[in-house]
Chains A and B, each alone.
Chain A
Amino acid sequence: MSGLKYIFEPSSVTIVGASNNPKKFGNIILRNILDSGFQGRVYPVNPKEKEILGLTCVDSIPNLKEAVDFAIVVIPADSVPKAIAECGQKGIRGAVIISGGFRETGEKGARLERSVVEEGKRYGMRIVGPNCQGVNNPHHPICASWPLFTSKGEMAIIAQSGTVAIAFADLSSLDHLGISALVSMGNKADVDEADLIEYFSEHQGTQVISLYIEGVSHPEKFLKALKGCRKPIVVLKSGRTNQGRIAAESHTSSLTGNDEVFDGILKQNRVYRAETFEEFYDFSKAVAYLRRPSGRRLAFVTSSGGAAVLAIDMADKMGMEVPAVPNEIKDILRTFVPQGASVNNPVDLTGDGDAPMFKKVADIIRPYFDTVVYIFGDPIEGSSEIVRSDANELVIFMGGADVERREKALMQKKKIPVFPTPERGIKAYSQLFKFPQFKR
């Protein structure tokens, strides 16, 4: 079992610095581990408590009943090197250090961080953090992080910022798509993005690796991980501008590097790059849940002319094609679409369009195009019953209020991604064509 497997798929854990105070991370994380449905053994460690959340407390690491797989460390920075050494002596092989107060605070913290790494190395222990927001694997399940997310999905979010990781997981939970894992890397004292790319490249539940970084820890190791990765990767990297670089260096003491060079490396290694957090989420969703059709010819079926025009503008900008509907097909469509509807591309059903009509049009025009783009621009009841996960379809839903929220949830529960605006949907979809081959 590799070191990281102890962290993401442990059968027993200890939380060093567990607490009875519901405001402390030592309590919140313990509660989340239990509430996430973790099936293994859990040992809180705290010398001053007898029992925490119904579990018997152990007074010290050496007194643990077994060498657990995974230790979550939530004690003040000064005490962390000793705790890691004790974990190592005990035979524990995986740890996450939540506590801050290390390299990000100055020279004294940097010294502490170095001794933590030394102790970890001495005992062959892999360590995530310090100064991080933990890890979550809803498939195992174990949520050694906060807040609690339990929604199982196919996107692994790995971030050098706890907030970015959490915000991503939050969006995907609201979308009923979930995550395959969450890792907040913090200071990356030991485990870094390259280790995690290697691990998630082989991780069964993961279809896409979504990586937010401010800088690369070990360039050669990173390149090797990119080259060897079998899953698509979407990267959001900050610190691209001069001001951004200064901010990144003070946030996690990261060397941000030359962005033009980094950009070339991503292209050379077929890594998708997002420029904003919104793109980061949208691109990940598209790459994880959509298949690449054989061509770029899009057919639009819409109930909103305006939304379709916005979509077509973006399609043109992104190098997609919007060819006309063949004349003989137009004649067929005219026999049943509402009066005033347009049968060009877009096929605009106007506000009178309903779900069965969307389906009828889509089935007729599908053979003439590579992809059918549905734009549900109104409260279209039953739209979730007509969209398919086995065909090349892109779904955009807007202006549908409560019906939209209900139908969208039903679609995404079937793993059919729904995009909230025409521009975001088309832009994300066009990523599938970014490289000559599509991993997945």
Chain B
Amino acid sequence: MRIIDEALAEGRKILSEHESKRVLSQFGIPVTPEALVNNPDDAKKAAQKIGFPVVLKGASPTLTHKTELGMVELGIKDDFDLEGAYRRIVSSHKAKCEQVLVQKMIHGERELIVGFTRDFQFGPCVMFGLGGIFAELFRDVTFRLPPLTEQDAMEMMGDIQGRKILGDFRGRSPVNKETLARILIIVGNIGTQYEVIHEIDINPLIVRQDGTVIAVDALIGLSPSASREKG
């Protein structure tokens, strides 16, 4: 895959958020509409195309922990807000970024995590659990080995302690379990197919009020020593 090959050629071990989501999107995982820009005018154009409200995130191939570095501006409603937010990000003293990611602001209180890792004994595994701040508060995750069947994926959803969040929680629509199952299956397949992918971390995968899910932040880790693709 081109995005991965380029990152490897540059000697990188992780894909940026934007690159990671482009990879996931190519496999049919729903991701936030977004664009990478390097000046305020392009940011405005992108925001208009995506539709306010938007989020701005400082972007650089090596930048992680953006929130802690003050590189994330949420809930931008118009051009005026956007200009100020843009300025604050590019002038941040905590980290440098060459570009800014303009992203659709996604509303949803329910945050999930979907991941892929390589266990030192059992190899590829798919993870599912509570995401966002919950992922830091409680470790509520479950694993299965790919390839996952639809039943495996459904059982993962029933396996976490916080499974009620997937139902009609506090008057919200229940999560679209078929889509969520498909995402879990796909993540397992990507990891199995591309040996060079060391890990995938989709966190948060937000459940919107209507029950649809969308990847809001994602990271793909690479292991350059592994062969590119399984034959």
Query: What residues of chain A have their CB less than 8 Å away from a CB belonging to chain B?
Result: 216, 219, 223, 255, 257-258, 260-265, 267-268
In the complex, the answer to whether A255 meets B121 with C-beta atoms within 8 Å is: yes
Interface centre among B122, B123, B152 (most CB of A within 10 A): B122
In the complex, the answer to whether B142 meets A260 with C-beta atoms within 8 Å is: yes
Chain A contacts for B145, CB-based, 8 A? 223, 264-265, 268
Report the 9 A-B pairs with minimum CB-CB distance, sorted nearest first.
A264-B143, A219-B121, A261-B119, A261-B143, A264-B144, A257-B121, A219-B122, A268-B144, A261-B125
Interface residues of B in 102-148 (CB under 8 A from A): 119-123, 125, 141-145
B210 touches A (CB below 8 Å): no
Chain A contacts for B159, CB-based, 8 A? 267
B6 touches A (CB below 8 Å): no
B42 touches A (CB below 8 Å): no
Tally chain B residues at the interface, Cβ within 8 Å: 15
Chain A contacts for B121, CB-based, 8 A? 216, 219, 255, 257-258, 261
Tell me, in angstroms, the Cα distance from A115 to B145 when the chains sit together: 35
Can you name the residue of chain B whose Cβ is closest to the Cβ of A264?
Answer: B143
In the complex, the answer to whether B122 meets A268 with C-beta atoms within 8 Å is: no
In the complex, the answer to whether A223 meets B122 with C-beta atoms within 8 Å is: yes
> What's the least CB distance linking A245 to chain B, in Å?
13
Can you name the residue of chain B whose Cβ is closest to the Cβ of A259?
Answer: B143
Tell me, in angstroms, the Cα distance from A253 to B122 when the chains sit together: 18
Tell me, in angstroms, the Cα distance from A262 to B120 when the chains sit together: 12
In the complex, the answer to whether B119 meets A263 with C-beta atoms within 8 Å is: no
Tell me, in angstroms, the Cα distance from A235 to B176 when the chains sit together: 34
Tell me, in angstroms, the Cα distance from A406 to B123 when the chains sit together: 52
Chain A contacts for B81, CB-based, 8 A? none
Tell me, in angstroms, the Cα distance from A98 to B143 when the chains sit together: 37
Chain A contacts for B141, CB-based, 8 A? 260
In the complex, the answer to whether B143 meets A263 with C-beta atoms within 8 Å is: yes
> What's the least CB distance linking B167 to chain A, in Å?
16
> What's the least CB distance linking B224 to chain A, in Å?
24
> What's the least CB distance linking A185 to chain B, in Å?
18
B150 touches A (CB below 8 Å): no
B5 touches A (CB below 8 Å): no
> What's the least CB distance linking A258 to chain B, in Å?
6
Mask, B203-222, CB within 8 Å of A = 1, is 00000000000000000000
Chain A contacts for B144, CB-based, 8 A? 264-265, 267-268
> What's the least CB distance linking A132 to chain B, in Å?
23
> What's the least CB distance linking A220 to chain B, in Å?
8
Tell me, in angstroms, the Cα distance from A333 to B219 when the chains sit together: 65
